[in-house]
Amino acid sequence: MTRFHLPEDQIPTAWYNVTPDLPEPLQPPLHPATREPVGPDDLAPLFPGALIAQEVAAERWIDIPGPVLDVLRLWRPTPLVRARALEEALGTPARIYYKDESGSPAGSHKPNTAVPQAYYNAAEGVRRLTTETGAGQWGTALSFACTRFGLDCKVYMVRASYDQKPYRRVIMETWGSEVVASPIDDPGHPGSLGLAISDAVRDAAGRDDTHYALGSVLNHVLLHQTIIGLEAKAQLELAGESDGPDVVLGCCGGGSNLGGIALPWVTDSSVRLVAAEPASCPTLTAGRFEYDFGDTAGMTPLLPMYTLGHDFVPPAIHAGGLRYHGDAPIISALVHAGRMEAVAYPQGKTFEAAVQFANTEGKLPAPEAGHVIRAVIDEALAAKELGEERVLLFNFCGHGFLDLAAYDDYLHGRLVDA
């Protein structure tokens, strides 16, 4: 068999909260002015109470509300696929499985958290959300989610992506969102996720009817994404892999899709966890582990994380979703404790892997996904070298149908790595 499907009635009904199972307790976020731990009141202008509670939750399982499950069922459970053609092309004894998150309305894993975030905000009477978007995937996902719960949405899109990816803007506008290029006050600047977060937070903080939604990094975002790994656990059983995977891999921008697939395996020490990131924005492999702001202007709480510095502006690589100076505190804590490994690749090597995947498995990966596919191919080749039957599981976090300008650059020799 190639595809392993969970029936719709076996969709997970609770998210897994890894916090009590981390090797070391998470350090608290600090207030940007006082540098004291932030309390719920500090976060209330930006987030609904339910999400603030999830941010600090100590219990392992948190029920998924029925109206959220009703929306997730439009595309979940997603298939687990055995990449047999890729295995054959590589001549590897490794068995490669991927969770295909590209079939969601937005084409990526991002709606898994956009939907509950829109739901909790609407349930608490909020009428409008603001957010940032890098590649455009998160803004697309939140725009879709806002249509489900009758919310207005304004998206601050990193200018480099706004210029490279006009069709992402068109989808967001089709779903009724307002989209502007960020930074809004400097039209010559390529932008960064950190700057776009500042724009979106400033907007939300200035209006009573508006909250802010973040597509990655925070604990509640990774919590919502664990539905990916929980489904994959049940599907690997269906595939006859009852010993589970040897290695679980994801690309890492802020850490949400990686967390989603990897966190359900944190307590199983026989499973290696691997983050793949861009060499041009090497947060986990070359950053410092310290408190830093989540945005560039220094308006967000200080988070304990690997960071390249909140004023770091990464080169305008095509994997816009991986251009973030920091990383999720949960992912950072796992790397810092030695529970998770990290590798970094220049973008040319990731497009080479993405094109090999497209020519074997048929699917055209988002440039972000090219990073994890590069890591998977390298793992599979290492298994071949050692003659080892490794089971590899990775998250195929999105398709690249709206990233064709990037493929055009790669295929025609215009993609140059610094």
Ligand X SMILES: Cc1ncc(COP(=O)(O)O)c(C=O)c1O
The footprint of ligand X (CB under 6 A) covers 108, 134-135, 137-138, 216, 251-258, 321-322, 366, 368, 397-398
Find the shortest distance in angstroms from Cβ 354 to ligand X.
12
Find the shortest distance in angstroms from Cβ 346 to ligand X.
17
- Nearest residue to ligand X on Cβ basis: 321
Cα(184)–Cα(197) distance, integer angstroms = 12
DSSP states of 147-194 as a string?
Answer: HHHT-EEEEEEEHHHHHH-HHHHHHHHHTT-EEEEESTT-TT----HH
Which CB atom, from 203 or from 327, has the smaller least distance to ligand X? 327
SS3 state of residue 391: strand
Cα(341)–Cα(336) distance, integer angstroms = 9
Find the shortest distance in angstroms from Cβ 110 to ligand X.
6
Which CB atom, from 135 or from 383, has the smaller least distance to ligand X? 135
Which CB atom, from 115 or from 239, has the smaller least distance to ligand X? 115
Find the shortest distance in angstroms from Cβ 165 to ligand X.
11
Find the shortest distance in angstroms from Cβ 292 to ligand X.
17
Alpha-carbon 134 to chain mean position: 11
| Amino acid (1-letter code) at residue 240 | G
5 exposed, middle or buried (CB, 10 Å; 0-12, 13-18, 19+)? middle
Tokens 């810092």 belong to 336
Find the shortest distance in angstroms from Cβ 225 to ligand X.
8
Which CB atom, from 246 or from 368, has the smaller least distance to ligand X? 368
Beta strands in 32-151 (DSSP E): 61-63, 80-82, 95-100, 128-133
Which CB atom, from 354 or from 397, has the smaller least distance to ligand X? 397
Which CB atom, from 83 or from 252, has the smaller least distance to ligand X? 252
SS3 state of residue 413: coil
